[in-house]
Amino acid sequence: MSQDKQMKAVSPLLQRVINISSIVGGVGSLIFCIWAYQAGILQSKETLSAFI
């Protein structure tokens, strides 16, 4: 019963914003990983250290 009250305390708009931001973050991370792989950053520890 208390979980139902906690879930209703968060507005649907806020839930939608949180869900969209999570999806955008996941897609952004995937794009970054693909870019880093294609750029050769992930080929060795040296290139990764140089990037960081």
How big is the CA angle at 24 (ends 18 and 22), to the nearest 5 degrees?
Answer: 35
pLDDT at 47: 87
20: containing domain: 12-50
Q: Would residue 7 count as lying in a domain? A: no
Q: Would residue 4 count as lying in a domain? A: no
Q: Would residue 28 count as lying in a domain? A: yes
pTM of the model: 0.63
**Low-confidence residues of the chain: pLDDT under 70:** 1-8
Q: Would residue 41 count as lying in a domain? A: yes
pLDDT at 25: 97
Sign of CA dihedral 46, 51, 29, 16: positive
C-alpha 33: how far from chain center: 12
| 3 state DSSP class of 50 | helix
